[in-house]
Structure formats: structure tokens, C-alpha cells
Chain A
Amino acid sequence: DAGVIQSPRHEVTEMGQEVTLRCKPISGHNSLFWYRQTMMRGLELLIYFNNNVPIDDSGMPEDRFSAKMPNASFSTLKIQPSEPRDSAVYFCASSLDRSQPQHFGDGTRLSIL
């Protein structure tokens, strides 16, 4: 079975540009999570959705960050405008339901120059 699929795997762009990260959760999973991993702060939850509805976005660092889940099989995380301090690995994870473990994608390594 396909796992969580993230694209792109790597993204390098200049400061000020818009960045869009994409995630396809495991089919049938109804919870989706976005995390960010940096050396300084480790793994942090940014936002999570349940049945396509954002439940908790308290981890989203600034208004420059936004996330959507238009349907059960697709989510995006957008940064506009991007800044060098946004450089990190961004992970998407999904779980079958609210009581089950999360399965992670391979992440998107984002570098903002």
C-alpha cells in the first residue's frame, strides 16, 4: 500500500517567493498533520485536520503560513512570502482515526536563500 506521499522532496527558492508543499495522505485516513523539523527546535506540530477540517493551527508560526485540505486525499502547506528562517524539513503525517498512530511521509527539505 502507498504511504503518505509528499512533494516536492526538495525545494530551493529565494527569499520572498511563494512556496507550496503538497501531501497525499494514506487512503482512508481521516486525520492529517503537518510538522516542521529543524536542528534548533526539533519536530514541531504546525497544524492538523480531522475530516478535512482544521482542528488546531496554534503551531503555525505566522500569518505567512497557511494550510488547506480541500478533500480527503490532498493537503497543501503554503508559505508566502518565504524567509530564510523557514528553511527546514516539513513532514506530513496521517492516521486512520483519532486513536491510531500517525504515519509519516518522507518530508520536503526546504531551503530559502
Chain B
Amino acid sequence: AQSVTQPDIHITVSEGASLELRCNYSYGATPYLFWYVQSPGQGLQLLLKYFSGDTLVQGIKGFEAEFKRSQSSFNLRKPSVHWSDAAEYFCAVRRGGGADGLTFGKGTHLIIQP
């Protein structure tokens, strides 16, 4: 079965600094990969997705992620964070080809320092 690991439970970044959130997955074939963001009391909003093709994918709110098959990773990056980026971030994987549900990591809580 597939699994997702987000090694960092909390990350603190100064406003304006760069950000990288780590995600490692376990799945035998090419997975479908996603990053979602959750603000307090809200649902999950899709930031970006990777299905195939270019391994560097662009998303909303200035986020990007890079798929590295050799490292089984799909790390999320942003060159300059804003206070409004403070939230919980989830990496997720879905088996390719089917309407299967998502397997989520445990999430990374992002704190922005002024």
C-alpha cells in the first residue's frame, strides 16, 4: 500500500524567507501527487498536482513542487513566504489510473515569524 511521510511536524520561517516542505512517498509505480493547504476551521485547498510530464510543477499562491523519482520525493517550495501562508500543509498520493481516494501525510504546520 502507498504511504506518505512528512518528516517535519512544525516549521518556523521568517516572513520574506524561502520555504521548503518535505514529502516522501512510497508507491511502486508512478504516483499521482498533490499538495493541499488547510487553514484553521477550513477544508483543504489544492495547491498543485503532479500526474506526469514536467517534474517541476507550478501551483497557486506562488508555490511550486518538484517530483524526484530517484528520491521518492515531492517537496513543496516558495521563494518568499507571506504571513498569510501560515497554515497546515498536506502532501497526498493517489494510485494512478483509478478513482481511488487519497493517502495523506500527517501534515506540516507552518508558522510565519514577523
Residue B104 lies at the interface, judged by CB distance under 8 Å to chain A: yes
CA distance A56 to B103 in the complex (A): 14
- Chain B residues positioned under 8 Å from A44 (CB to CB): 104
Q: Does B114 contact A (CB under 8 A)?
A: no
- For B82-114 the 0/1 string (1 means CB < 8 A from A) is 000000001000000111111111110000000
Given A99-B51, A101-B49, A45 contacting B102 (CB threshold 8 A):
yes
Contact partners of B36 in chain A: CB under 8 A: 104
Q: At the interface, is chain A mostly helix, strand, loop or mixed?
A: strand
**Also in contact, A107 and B106, with CB within 8 A (given A56-B101, A59-B101):** no
Is B11 an interface residue when CB atoms closer than 8 A count as contact? no
B contact face: mostly helix, strand, loop, or mixed? loop
Instruction: Assess whether B90 is in contact with A98, with CB atoms less than 8 Å apart.
Output: no
Number of A residues contacting the other chain (C-beta, 8 Å)?
A: 26
Query: Which of B42, B97, B102, B105 is in CB contact (< 8 Å) with A102?
Result: B102
CB-contacts of A11-57 with B (<8 A): 31, 33, 35, 42-45, 48, 50, 55-56
B26 at the interface (CB under 8 A from A): no
B34, CB-defined interface residue at 8 Å: yes
Residues of B within 8 A of A105 (CB): 43
Chain A minimum-CB-distance residue to B103: A45
Chain A residues whose C-beta falls within 8 Å of the C-beta of B17 in the assembled complex: none
A residues with a Cβ closer than 8 A to B are 4, 31, 33, 35, 42-45, 48, 50, 55-56, 59, 91, 93, 95, 97-99, 101-107
Chain B residues within 8 Å of A, Cβ to Cβ: 34, 36, 41-46, 49, 51, 90, 97-107
